[in-house]
């Protein structure tokens, strides 16, 4: 493969996906940081020896670096996510680089998957009186969801054509984020370590962003709006309001079992609906903290896990119906076997190499 075909952006993407600085990568290929800087800036050619060392150090097949697909970065809603301010720039670079690579993979896989259509409407919030809850009710009606709890948020998203991608973000400060690019279904990147109730809430929250904010101007209330959407989508006011009267911890536990929503979220819902005072809310949260439930509510109250099925189904279809071997998939997606088995497991035993 000709080193002159190297796309400098792919070098940067691979380096960030491996969590390396320019200096660390330079040390791995026995070069100076200036060399890496110039390669990534596209102002210096890559020699054959440097190309070979880069591919080895970053552990990607050589042809990965010659791809020229568009690289997708963070969306508007991610810029206003307060929790992400607690995450280091290096961690964010790694998370977003891996998300970009996953999106490239999915774009390739969908070329041979003819049944992919999405049913996600665009409901700009300004057209709904800036009312996220009205949008949530409208979407439930549009998708003809039955009254009561959402049986499976994963199934709701996948039935509409969205793809859910479990990820290791290496931090608890990122629950998830979503992307909706032209000619692609919405992608929902979720922290694979989320508890089931948090998984459901995060999907509903990100669904709010996809539906309300994809065509909206950015603003600082986007996170609040997505949370209001999630609350109404998962626990419709008309049904949940009578059940939130005279709240106690015993009652919260029963409501969590029924609605599959965290006790803390139900408590905030009661406050938002004007059913408890600020003082009562603070007191109940203090009691939750004393019981150790702020970070981990009782496991026996957890709803069932909702693992994604659509993306594994697409990969399995390539393996079984199109007769792709793992080597074929590695070549097609530009991955090594370790990454392939970690992201798109075949069911065969494997070892994960951590860089």
Output the pLDDT for position 120. Answer: 94
Output the pLDDT for position 118. Answer: 86
Residue 178 domain-assigned (yes or no): yes
Among 186, 156, 198, smallest CA distance to 308 is for 156
Residues 140 and 274 in one domain: no
Six-digit token string for 157: 């998203």
Residues 97 and 221 in one domain: yes
29: Cβ–Cβ under 8 A, 6 or more apart, which residues? 36, 50, 53, 54, 57
Helix (H) or strand (E) holding 167: strand 163-167
Residue 309 domain-assigned (yes or no): no
Residue 292 domain-assigned (yes or no): yes
Q: Are 276 and 270 in contact (CB under 8 A)?
A: yes
Six-digit token string for 42: 């596209």
Residues 112 and 166 in one domain: yes
Residues 175 and 228 in one domain: yes
Output the pLDDT for position 349. Answer: 56
Residue 261 domain-assigned (yes or no): yes
What angle is formed at CA 303 by the lines to CA 302 and CA 304, rounded to 5 degrees?
Answer: 115
21: Cβ–Cβ under 8 A, 6 or more apart, which residues? 15, 90
Range of the domain at 114: 76-234
Residues 109 and 218 in one domain: yes
Output the pLDDT for position 85. Answer: 73
Residues 145 and 50 in one domain: no
Residues 195 and 92 in one domain: yes
pTM: 0.92
Residue 131 domain-assigned (yes or no): yes
Residues 34 and 152 in one domain: no
Residues 87 and 199 in one domain: yes
CA 275 to each of CA 237, 272, 331: distance values in angstroms, whole numbers, following the listed order: 12, 8, 57
In 195-231, which positions are buried (b, 16+ CB within 10 angstroms) versus exposed (e)? Answer: bbbbbbbbbbbbbbbbbbbbebeeeeebbebbbbbbb
Residue 322 domain-assigned (yes or no): no
Residue 311 domain-assigned (yes or no): no
Output the pLDDT for position 70. Answer: 83
Q: Which of these three, 66, 87, 103, is where a domain ends?
A: 66
Residue 50 domain-assigned (yes or no): yes
Output the pLDDT for position 215. Answer: 76
In the chain (355 residues long), the average pLDDT of successive 10-residue segments reads: 82 96 95 94 90 94 91 71 78 94 95 84 91 97 96 97 95 92 91 96 97 83 94 97 93 96 96 95 92 91 97 96 96 95 79 50
Chain centroid to CA 168: how far? 10
Torsions phi, psi for 163 (to 5 deg): -110, 130
CATH of the domain at 19: 1.10.260.40
| Domains contained in the chain, number | 3
């Amino acid at each position: 493969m000709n080193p002159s075909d190297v796309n400098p952006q792919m070098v940067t993407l691979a380096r960030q996906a491996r969590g390396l600085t320019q200096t660390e990568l330079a040390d791995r290929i026995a070069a100076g940081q200036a060399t890496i800087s110039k390669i990534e800036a596209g102002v210096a050619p890559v020699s054959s020896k440097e190309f070979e060392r880069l591919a080895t150090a970053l552990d990607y097949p050589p042809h990965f670096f010659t791809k020229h697909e568009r690289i997708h970065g963070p969306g508007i809603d991610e810029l206003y996510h307060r929790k992400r301010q607690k995450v280091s720039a290096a961690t964010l670079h790694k998370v977003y680089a891996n998300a970009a690579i996953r999106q490239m993979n999915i774009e390739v896989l969908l070329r041979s998957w003819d049944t992919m259509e999405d049913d996600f409407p665009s409901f700009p919030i300004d057209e709904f009186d800036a009312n996220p809850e009205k949008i949530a009710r409208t979407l439930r009606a549009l998708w003809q969801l039955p009254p009561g709890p959402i049986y499976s948020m994963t199934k709701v998203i996948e039935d509409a054509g969205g793809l859910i991608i479990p990820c290791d973000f290496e931090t608890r400060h990122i629950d998830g984020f979503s992307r909706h690019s032209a000619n692609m279904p919405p992608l929902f990147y979720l922290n694979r370590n989320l508890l089931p109730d948090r998984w459901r809430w995060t999907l509903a929250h990100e669904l709010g962003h996809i539906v309300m904010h994809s065509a909206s101007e950015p603003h600082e209330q986007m996170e609040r709006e997505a949370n209001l959407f999630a609350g109404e989508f998962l626990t419709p006011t008309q049904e949940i309001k009578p059940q939130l009267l005279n709240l106690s911890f015993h009652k919260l536990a029963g409501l969590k079992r029924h609605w599959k929503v965290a006790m803390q979220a139900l408590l905030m819902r009661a406050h938002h609906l004007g059913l408890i005072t600020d003082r009562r809310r603070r007191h109940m949260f203090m009691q939750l903290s004393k019981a150790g439930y702020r970070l981990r509510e009782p496991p026996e109250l957890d709803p069932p896990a909702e693992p994604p099925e659509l993306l594994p189904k697409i990969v399995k279809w390539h393996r079984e119906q199109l007769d792709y071997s793992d080597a074929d998939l590695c070549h097609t997606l530009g991955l090594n076997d370790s990454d392939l088995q970690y992201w798109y497991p075949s069911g065969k035993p494997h070892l994960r190499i951590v860089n």
